[in-house]
Structure 1
Amino acid sequence: MAFAFDVALQPTGHQPVSFVRMTRRTRVDTTFPRPEFSWLGSWRFSPLVLPILLPLCDPPAQASGLTDPAAIDRAVIAFTGSEIGQPGGPRMAADRRLQLAACAAPLTVDWHSPARSAVRVECAGPNSWRIFVAVNAAPGAADKPALPAIKRGDALTIMVRGRGFSVQQSGEAIEGGAVGDWIFVRTARKAEPLRARIERPGLAVIPAN
């Protein structure tokens, strides 16, 4: 005895109405192809499933070959001896949007000027760069005169520093000054005076760039 019944599938979105006519041998007649998948064998993704799975994929790896701004924070904190936002420390953390090349050598940090209102962070090497970080004034800093790092007549090292290179030789200070001051120096061969910046006691640097 044959039996048959019709089932109307209600439209969802823009899908057309489909009629399925069931008989003893179950014949399926639809207006769109059947999805082909099997829980026991191979199966295929529907295009509607992909947008659901894509957010679950791992995000792209962070670009490599850049200096971590947190490394700049640590270098400035170690140099000043104060935490971010504290008196004597950096006013704020380094901008996380900075795109600075990775530095193969340790970062060098020094005062930008005798006023000590900012520090200079540098990376030496083929991909050299330099930034300045504002620093909060330390209590009583304005009342303390900067101590001379080099005195007139002192023997010192004169360094010429450029992008990816540095050369140095012995010399003499024609005048004295504190760290960050520009002074006149002369090489040991009594050449013409040169203007150099005091980087630390016993070292004056002439930028080549």
Structure 2
Amino acid sequence: MSTSPALRSDAVRNRALLIEAARTELAAHPGPLRLREVARRAGVGQGTLYRHFPTRDALLAALTVDRLEGLVEVFEATARADDDALEPSWRAAVLHGLETGRDRTFTEVLSTGNAADPETAALIGRFETALAVVVGRGQELGFVAATLTFGDVLRLICGAQHAVAMAVEVTELPERYTDVLLAGLRPSTRD
């Protein structure tokens, strides 16, 4: 779905090598992505790395495009769900979102709105649009508190994703945190 111009075959290969090297580097050394080490692992010069990814943020965004596309598709399908199916579809979408939280890079890109390239920016925009539709419909149907804004819900989901990323060894966390998050989004008896 990329809108960038077609790359030569060696450029395509170098880009793939850089993305794979960045994944390997992040797995070996969690924390800030070391671009010099990424270029070394990929067997290319730093100039090649910067031609493909002018910033660290651009490389991080490229690492998450496939996961972001999947999340967008799930939330867009939820936004289109019939009223009767919206609440269970919403739960499945939030669970999917929290499961992607196991990837710290993805969580960082989504929570910061890191739109380092037009493709990532467009995907984040589509995600936010779908989420806003679901939150609005959830409020109309009574399973999301009317006092919550779209921004509140987005920040809560991102926070739960971050919590999952911080404890990736606990496999049931996405399920448990989804239950807690959705219970907290419900209207209270004070509303």
Whether TM-score is above 0.5 comes out as no
**TM-score using structure 1 length:** 0.24
Q: Which structure features the higher share of strand residues?
A: 1
Q: Which structure features the higher share of helix residues?
A: 2
Flag the structure with larger Rg.
1
- Bigger relative CO (Cα 8 Å, ≥ 6 apart): 2
